[in-house]
Amino acid sequence: MREHTVLRVITKLLIAPIIIFALYVQFHGDYSPGGGFQAGVVFAAAIILYALIFGLAEARRAVSPDVLRITAALGVLLFAGTGVYAMLEGGNFLDYDYLAHDAIHGQQYGLLLVEFGVGLTVVSTITSIFYVFAGRGRRTNEHET
């Protein structure tokens, strides 16, 4: 798709707003619809759009598959780690009341961290799956229409 100037220009214009919208959905999820999963999916869609227009190699250079594997696990680790930290502070597993001095603040910090973990895992997993599917050798099927 390198030769399609219109697509390239429009994509360049679109990717930044898509990513900002994903971050908004991620960190504003306490106040408006959305949360980690939705944000992760929208973010992954931005990366996939980039890969479609500018090529897989370019996208892999921008967002490395090796990093994605680590961040996919890191997201779950952050989620579970928040739960374990609450245990260390004297509560039950995933009881965010104990994350801060004030129970309500603790809950809000907990939600923020946990949603971030969800988003991290979702964006990494979906992008990795796309990389794997798109990266398999493409056979040219000449008998296809």
Partner 1 sequence: MTTDIVLNIVLLSLMAITGLAIARLRNLFPVAMLTGLYSLLSASLFTLLDAVDVALTEAAVGAGVTTVLFLATFGLTRAREKPVARSRTVIGLVVTVLTGAALFYASLDMPHFGDRNTPVQDHPLRERYLSTVNEEIDVPNTVTAVLGSYRGYDTLGEVTVILTAGIGVLMLLGVAWRRPDKRKESDR
Query: HSE of 46 in the Cβ direction (CA atoms, 13 Å)?
Result: 21
| Nearest Cα residue to 38 out of 24, 25, 54 | 25
Nearest residue (CB) to partner 1, 5 versus 145: 145
Q: Give the one residue of 38, 54, 59, 99 binding partner 1; rule: CB under 8 A.
A: 38
- Work out whether 142 is an interface residue with partner 1 (CB under 8 A): no
- Check: CB of residue 113 under 8 Å from CB of residue 82: yes
Radius of gyration, CA atoms only, the chain: 19
Q: Pull the structure tokens for residue 140.
A: 């040219």
Q: Which residues of the chain form contacts with partner 1 (CB under 8 A)?
A: 25, 29-35, 37-38, 41-42, 44-45, 48, 52, 65, 69, 72-73, 75-76, 79-80, 83, 94, 96, 103-104, 107-108, 110-111, 114-115, 117-118, 121-122, 124-126, 128-139, 141, 144-145
